[in-house]
Each structure stands twice: as C-alpha cells, then as structure tokens.
C-alpha cells in the first residue's frame, strides 16, 4: 500500500513539474496563438491527470490503519491540492482567458485593416463588444477561481467526513465489544449466584444434620 502511494506521489511530482514548466513557456506576446492553444491543452490534460492522482492517493490514505500516518499523508495531500490550485489551475485559467482575448483582438484588428469601408460607428460597436467580452472573460476567470477554491474546500470536507465516519465505526465496534463483555459478566454473576445458593443449601443441610445427630445422642442418654 505504501509503495503504491509512493508511486502516485512520484507521478504527481513529475506531472506537476512538467505542467508548471509548460505554463512558464507560454508567451502571449509572441503572436503565435495556435502554439499557445496546443500548450494550454497539454497543461489542461496534465491538470486532469494530477486531479486523478490526488483522488487515487486519497483512496490509498483512507485505507491506512495507522492514524498518525494517515493524518500525516492527508496533510501532504492537502498541500498537493494547494500547489495544484495555486500554480496550475489559476494560472491556466488566466492564460486561457488572456489568450482568448488576444485572439479576439487580433481578429478585430485584422477585420479593421482588411475592410476600410467600415464606418466609425461600426468600429465603436466592435470595440464595445471587445470590452464586454473582456469583462465577461474576467468574470469567468473569477468564477473559475472560486469554483476551484470551492472544489478544494469540498474535497477537504469529504476527507473530514470520511475520517469522522471511520471514527464512528471504530466507536461502534468498541461498543459492540463492550456489550459482549457485559453479557459475559452477567452470565458469570448468575453462575456465581447459583453456586452461592447451592452452597447455602448444603450448609443448612449439614447444620440440620448435626442438630439432629446431637438430639439423637441426647435422647439415647436419657
């Protein structure tokens, strides 16, 4: 189990480093939108792989019996999630939106250069549309960031709920064992009570026999 968890961690670190490296290689000012799209798609695939690896690590950690080791690995997984969100998810969303804005701006500029018959009112409408699109992209980026943060919080809540469930199951098992011990104690007490009563009857019988014997001896003398 530990070996499999180590394998997932190694794959995570390798994929994470490649994703960060690709993100740093993107140059939005180069004008090569197609190449940027390809790189962004590769990083998106890396992000999906990293999320899947984290889920696999969570499954492995939840099956660990040692509580101290489990808590330690859960903390490590939480750090991995933070790194993924901070260094890949958020930068990826921002670069994707910025690249889209650059493409739209280039298309507008190309359109303006190729068609000199467009009047100033139409150009103004196009620029306003570009501004609206830019604002929408920013809102989408903010919403995506909130969604990513919410996803991280939800995952942490799920881990806590699973841990609490395991604690409750262990407590219930302990109660079952304690109930079994109580039943055994009751049976033992009942057995001791029966033996005590039997010993009392035997003692009374012995005393009665002794009294009767004494009376017979006295009777024989008189």
Q: Count CB neighbours of 107 within 10 A.
A: 13
Alpha-carbon distance 172 to 175, whole Å? 5
How many residues comprise the chain? 222
Residue 89 DSSP one-character state: I
Domain ranges of the chain: 2-179
pLDDT at position 111 is: 46
Alpha-carbon distance 174 to 182, whole Å? 12
pLDDT at position 30 is: 57
Which regions in the chain score pLDDT beneath 70? 1-2, 28-34, 99, 101-124, 126-127, 134-152, 154-155, 157-161, 171, 222
pLDDT at position 182 is: 76
The superfamily CATH assigns to domain 2-179 is t-snare proteins (1.20.58.400)
pLDDT at position 143 is: 62
pTM for this entry: 0.46
User: For residue 159, what are the contacts with CB-CB under 8 A and spacing of at least 6?
Assistant: 58, 62, 74, 77
Half-sphere exposure of 15 toward its Cβ, with a 13 Å CA cutoff?
A: 22
Alpha-carbon distance 4 to 15, whole Å? 17
pLDDT at position 101 is: 66
pLDDT at position 5 is: 85
């Amino acid at each position: 189990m530990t070996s499999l968890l180590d394998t997932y961690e190694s794959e995570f670190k390798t994929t994470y480093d490649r994703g960060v490296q690709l993100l740093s290689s993107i140059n939005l000012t180069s004008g090569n939108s197609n190449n940027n799209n390809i790189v962004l798609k590769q990083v998106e695939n890396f992000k999906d792989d990293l999320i899947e690896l984290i889920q696999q690590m969570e499954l492995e950690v939840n099956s660990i019996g040692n509580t101290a080791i489990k808590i330690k690995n859960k903390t490590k997984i939480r750090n991995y999630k933070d790194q993924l969100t901070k260094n890949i998810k958020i930068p990826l969303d921002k670069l994707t939106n910025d690249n889209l804005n650059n493409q739209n701006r280039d298309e507008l500029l190309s359109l303006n250069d190729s068609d000199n018959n467009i009047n100033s009112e139409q150009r103004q409408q196009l620029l306003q549309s570009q501004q609206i699109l830019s604002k929408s992209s920013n809102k989408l980026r903010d919403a995506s960031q909130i969604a990513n943060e919410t996803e991280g919080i939800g995952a942490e809540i799920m881990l806590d709920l699973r841990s609490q469930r395991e604690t409750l199951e262990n407590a219930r098992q302990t109660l079952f064992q304690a109930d079994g011990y109580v039943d055994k104690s009751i049976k033992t007490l009942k057995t001791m009570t029966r033996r005590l009563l039997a010993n009392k009857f035997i003692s009374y019988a012995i005393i009665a026999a002794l009294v009767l014997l004494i009376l017979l001896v006295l009777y024989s003398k008189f």
